[in-house]
Structure 1
């Protein structure tokens, strides 16, 4: 029914931050709550939203969530926690994540989502650079 390319596009589309009708705008109070570590989505209030789904977007309203700074680089880049890393797979994952969270894709979004996008993108860049180079990867494993 679906070709491989169609399935891949559908999979990306499901992860892509789509605008949702009826999504409420942020008030000043909501924006300040967004920066705190609340247990739910900062935009729609769904409890436990940041831990659900893909971890980047709320499964209910598809708003970009704050990055999890405690998440290690290996799990973020979907690699085994080992010195040996498939650099081709690492590069594909890096490109996939940047297509999801790069700030250029959030220029028409709220300031909160723009800020989260910058933080996510920086985290992905740091993870990629660290895991790509054997020396920095080894030092990261030891730390």
Structure 2
């Protein structure tokens, strides 16, 4: 789609995005067939959940559904602590929005558009929550298990 590369991810700073922070992307969508192996909703391929952030399928590059159990700290690549490096947080926020913002999915399937909106909303919520000390503290307190 972008720059003549069909199925490619957006280009940022002269580089084709292949994942977050230079890691390989992977599938994180749970199989609809009832087993525990992760499968891409689009191609049915399975990915390595250990590597990458799970935003895109490594085989077909389709955006995968967000993981509703993922906490804000892991999403924003921050230590689970009251002290947060806000410059790093802002950088991560911008990086994630360049990957999942709905504007980059206008020519994709409706499923990917929907996943993009959900990812973008989760990223916005995580950023706003972790940026403000009061909401960050409340989030930490409420997420303790």
**Pairwise TM-score range, normalised by the shorter structure:** 0.7 to 0.9
Partner of 1:113: 112
Partner of 1:13: 17
Instruction: Give the superposition deviation at 1:15.
Output: 2.8
**Any unmatched runs of 5+ in structure 1?**
1-7, 17-35
Instruction: Give the superposition deviation at 1:50.
Output: 7.7
Partner of 1:78: 77
Q: With structure 1 as the length reference, what TM-score do the two structures score?
A: 0.74
**Any unmatched runs of 5+ in structure 2?**
1-12, 21-28, 32-37
Asked if the contact 2:19–2:52 (Cα under 8 Å) also holds between the matched residues in 1, the reply is: no
Instruction: Give the superposition deviation at 1:137.
Output: 0.2
Q: What are the Cα deviations for residues 61-92 of structure 1, in whole angstroms up to 9, with x where unaligned?
A: 11000000100100000000000000000000
- Determine the C-alpha separation between the residues in 2 that align with 1:50 and 1:101: 20
Seen in structure 2, the aligned counterparts of structure 1 residues 118 and 41 have a Cα distance that, compared at 3 Å, is: same
Partner of 2:9: none
Larger gyration radius, structure 1 or structure 2: 1
- Determine the C-alpha separation between the residues in 2 that align with 1:122 and 1:108: 19
Partner of 2:34: none
- Determine the C-alpha separation between the residues in 1 that align with 2:126 and 2:89: 10
Instruction: Give the superposition deviation at 1:37.
Output: 4.0
Partner of 2:10: none
Cα RMSD, aligned residues only: 1.9
Q: With structure 2 as the length reference, what TM-score do the two structures score?
A: 0.73
- Determine the C-alpha separation between the residues in 2 that align with 1:53 and 1:80: 17
Instruction: Give the superposition deviation at 1:54.
Output: 2.9
- The alignment of Structure 1 onto Structure 2 pairs a total of residues equal to 115
Seen in structure 2, the aligned counterparts of structure 1 residues 123 and 50 have a Cα distance that, compared at 3 Å, is: farther
Partner of 1:57: 56
